[in-house]
Structure 1
Amino acid sequence: MPYITTADGVQIYYTDQGQGQPVVFSHGWPLSSDAWQVELKRFADAGFRAIAHDRRGHGRSEKTYYGNDMDTYAKDLAAVVEELDLRDVVLVGHSTGGGEVVRYAAQYGQDQQRVSRVVTAGAVPPLMLKTDANPDGLPIEVFDGIRASVLKDRSQFWKDLSESFFGANHGRAVSQGDKDDFWRQGMLVNLAAAYDCVKAFSETDFTEDLKALTVPILIAQGDDDQIVPIGDSAYKSIQLVKDGTLKVYEGAPHGIQGDYQDKLDEDIINWIKG
């Protein structure tokens, strides 16, 4: 299987399909690059080189105890891009992956002229946690509860989380297979990585990263996102970037699935080609 090795010796798994302008996908928590299987085929079929990696501690990447923080995630993404010598890259990040691609693009990709565009979907930037400077955020008790649930019974927690992740609890048509695959990917995460990543996605402030972006960014999100509230994320992020396009999907959940997935993929491809 294809792996790259980071500077601190961690093996990162990736999938690489198709030819053309590279589109690199970063997945959400607690998933893996398998969450992008549909996109890998669709974008390769559309004439792109589609690449997705498993974040450290997730999927088939090394089950790490150290480095489960956003700065290291961005360094790992840089290692993938540099090892494959990718240029003119379009970065696509979902949820936690949205934070990862924004930080990488702001701190690595632009200076090296690696990145041409960024896409986020249901992404965690600018900041999820409620602070004095971010009074509209979610209180720390929400994230403490997530950590406690992951530690106590992660298997049941993934099953429960799949309901709101895909909006099944709000009446969306979600197959048992989609829910089961969410659970399957979640069970591949190293427990320490899953636990520590909660801090990474909730407490990392991406405000300055968003302000530093000079490349175009498409900020997409469903208005029924129960995991990352749209008022704390997309609506705030679009005000911080220099060259942003906001796309809101009525009734769409956090998870990229069903009709939301079909429309989002179509819109991203058209935006890149446009």
Structure 2
Amino acid sequence: MSTFTTQDGTEIYYKDWGDKEAQPIMFHHGWPLSADDWDSQMMFFLGKGFRVIAHDRRGHGRSSQTWQGNEMDTYADDVIQLTDKLDLIGAVHVGHSTGGGEVARYTARAKPGRVSKAVLIGAVPPIMVKSEKNPGGLPIEVFDGFREALLANRAQFFLDVPAGPFYGFNRPGAKVSQGIIENWWRQGMMGATKAHYDCIKAFSETDFTEDLKQIQVPTLVMHGEDDQIVPIDDSARLAIKLLKHGSLKTYPGLPHGMPTTHADQINADLLAFIRDE
């Protein structure tokens, strides 16, 4: 099992597959999941000749069950340390949901030459929570509800989310996959309750406005128009206005978890963006 230890002593698990001389793609997972959420993408791009990397964010998956550092600055610092260790040059960084926030913060701070392109899928930037400056956001009570459900019965909460809004399985006529639901539950239950609790604040209240403005590389924003977790109007449609070199691709009817439910479509669009010179 591949791990590295950060400067504060946290052990981070990661996967690094493929020819080390090949174009690297690094994937950043959402809350409360793990690198395993990218299985479809990693196998697809490995088969296309890319080097693929994914890590379990601190407090998630097989990484240390941290009680501190569960916020975006430290998440980005962990990525900086991992990309330094692996010496990734010209990597494409792909983030889903909370991972999209991590990609935005990391890319804005990355050393010159480390990042060639970025992709934000169903991502939380610019900021999720409602405020005077963000009137279209979700009320803080929504995220307080997440915290309450997590503490009351995390195991049940981690079944309810994927069985309902995450993959759009609550929509009429949806093709429900019990395997997908249970795989989400498996990944979530591997992580730490404290880290997951803290991360709710990280993904909902972190303001990525300045990060988006600072990103200098081509950035693709992909978002399902029926995303019930991160509503498109207060995320992708605002984020694209802040990016210097951004492009927006939206998907009518697709849910938050579209990299899993519609992997073939998402993978093809990712490949086209990565190969586009």
TM-score norm. by structure 1 comes to 0.97
What SS does structure 2 have at the residue aligned with 1:118?
Answer: strand
Q: Which whole-Å deviations, capped at 9, do the CAs of 1:159-202 have from their partners, x for residues lacking one? A: 11012100000132131000010111111110000000000000
Residues 18, 45 of structure 1: 8 Å contact kept: no
Q: Which whole-Å deviations, capped at 9, do the CAs of 1:201-258 have from their partners, x for residues lacking one? A: 0000000000001100000010000000000110000001001110101111001355
Residues 17, 41 of structure 1: 8 Å contact kept: no
Instruction: Measure the CA separation in 1 of the matches of 2:73 and 2:143.
Output: 20
Residues 101, 125 of structure 2: 8 Å contact kept: yes
Partner of 1:95 in structure 2?
97
Provide the aligned length of Structure 1 versus Structure 2: 272
For 1:222, the aligned partner's letter is G
Partner of 2:50 in structure 1?
48
| 1:188 paired to 2:190 | yes
Change (3 A) 1:257 1:93: closer
TM-score norm. by structure 2 comes to 0.96
Instruction: Measure the CA separation in 2 of the matches of 1:269 and 1:185.
Output: 26
The RMSD of aligned alpha carbons is 0.9
Gaps of 5+ in 1: none
For residues 212-251 of structure 1, what are the structure 2 equivalents within 5 Å? 212-251=214-253
| Displacement of 1:270 | 1.1
For residues 140-219 of structure 1, what are the structure 2 equivalents within 5 Å? 140-162=140-162, 163-170=164-171, 171-219=173-221
Partner of 2:63 in structure 1?
61
Gaps of 5+ in 2: none
Instruction: Measure the CA separation in 2 of the matches of 1:247 and 1:264.
Output: 10
Change (3 A) 1:269 1:187: same
Residues 21, 88 of structure 1: 8 Å contact kept: yes
Instruction: Measure the CA separation in 1 of the matches of 2:30 and 2:238.
Output: 20
Instruction: Measure the CA separation in 2 of the matches of 1:158 and 1:256.
Output: 18
For 2:181, the aligned partner's letter is K
Instruction: Measure the CA separation in 1 of the matches of 2:221 and 2:259.
Output: 17
